[in-house]
Structure 1
Amino acid sequence: MEQLLTIEKVLNNNVVIARHDAYKEVVLIGNGLGFNRKKGDVISFGHADKTFLLQDEAEKEQYVNLIPHIDENLIVSINEWLLFIEEQMGKKLNEHIHVALTDHLSFAITRAKKNIQFSNPFLLEIETLYPKEYRVAKDVVQKVETRMGVGFPEGEIGFIALHIHSAVTDKPLRDMNRDHALISRLTELIQSELKVDLAKDKVNYHRLIQHLHRAIDRVHQGEALSVENKLQELLKTEYPVCYNLAWKLIKVMQNQLNKPVDEAEVLYLTIHLQRLTHPN
Structure 2
Amino acid sequence: MIGNIRLQKLIEILTNTNQDITGKELCNVLGVSSRTIRSDIKDLNSILEDKGAMISSKKSKGYKIEVFEENKFNSFLKNINENDDIYNLTGEERAQYIIVKLLTNEIKGIEGITQIELADELYISLSSLKNDIKLAKSILLKIDLDIEKVSNKGIKISGNEESIRGYINGYMLSYNGFLKDVLDLSFKEILGDKEEIFINSILKDNIFKFKYRLSDISYREIVSYIKIILVRNYKNKTINYNESTREKLINDPKFKIAQSICNNIEEEIEIKILDNEVLYLTKHITSSSLIEEDKDRIISTLENEDKLLIDILSYIKDIFNLDFTKDTILINFLGPHIKAAINRAKYGIKIENPMLNLIKNNYPFALEIAIVANSIIKSEQGLNLTEDDIGFMALHFAAALERTKHNNGCTVKNAIIVCTTGVGTSLLLKVKLEAHFKDRLNIIDTIPFYEFNNVTLNNVDLIISTVPLENKCDKVIHIKRLLDSDEIKLIEYKLDYNYSNPNDFIKRFNERLFFIDVEVSDRDSTIDLITNKLIKYNYITEGVKQEIFKREKLAGTQIGNLVAIPHSINEDIKESFIAVAILKKPIQWDNEKVQLVLLIGMSTKDKHNWKPHLEQLYKNIIDINVVEDVIKSTNFEEFKKVVNKFKNI
TM-score (norm 1): 0.41
**Which structure carries more strand by proportion?**
2
**Which structure carries more helix by proportion?**
1
